[in-house]
Amino acid sequence: MIEHNASSNQDEPLLSVRELVAGYKGPVVGPLTFSVLPGEVLGVGGRNGSGKSTVLRAITGAARTFSGSIQRCAGLTVTHHQQRPELPPELPLLGRELLRVMHADRTDAPEIIQPLLDRPINQMSGGQFQLLQAWACLGGDAELVLLDEPTNNLDGRAIDALTAFIQTERPPRAVMLVSHEREFLAENCTRMIELGDENGSAEVHQDEMRRVSGGAGG
């Protein structure tokens, strides 16, 4: 999904969230306060059920904002890679046609994406479609990319490719990255919001994240 709200001032946040409380029938997460700057990768971590996906859905309007505010810079374009992208069997699009719809039909698609360009998406595995969707978001022209558990269904080679996508397709584009994998967050994020048991948040810098990840790995 791409939202066109497209140029941004690099000296101001792309997104400013203040005291956000969000959810569905009732609040799920918050209050949260953070901003997203051009060119950075902001991680969102926390235990299962802490509201990581809800934060992204609140930004796109798919979750309800009970209180607080979400402010976008003027003209911001946003694309959202959802946690479980659904294969649409009734639409026999080729991979390259999906990329064209997502404004990511580029001549320099990565090698791992090339075999998927002429394959119908309804014939792709879950991992192949997940990776293609991630490239469609990161290789397009959106200024803010929301990635929700993008490593789901991916093998080691595909995860390495996803890391390359995130790290090479950089400024002024920014990324908000939700993942339960601490090592993946530490490798890719410049800052992080940690959602805790009390639905609060704490900012963790990348060097601190690397120490946590390294300690957990033994």
* SS3 state of residue 105: coil
Of residues 46 and 97, more confidently modeled: 97
CB 32 within 8 Å of CB 203: no
Q: In the chain, what percentage of residues exceed pLDDT 90?
A: 42
Supply the pLDDT for residue 122: 84
Q: What is the mean pLDDT of residues 24-42?
A: 91
Q: What is the mean pLDDT of residues 103-116?
A: 87
CB 12 within 8 Å of CB 48: no
pTM of the model: 0.82
Of residues 14 and 206, more confidently modeled: 14
Q: What is the mean pLDDT of the chain?
A: 82
HSE-up (13 A, CA, CB side) for residue 20: 29
Q: Give per-residue burial for 206-216: e unless 16+ CB within 10 Å, then b.
A: beebeebbeee
Nearest-CA neighbor of 40 among 182, 207, 170? 170
Residue 169: pLDDT band with limits 50, 70, 90: low
Supply the pLDDT for residue 215: 38
Domains and CATH numbers, the chain: 2-213 (3.40.50.300)
Supply the pLDDT for residue 90: 63
Supply the pLDDT for residue 3: 39
The answer on pLDDT for 43 being more than 60 is yes
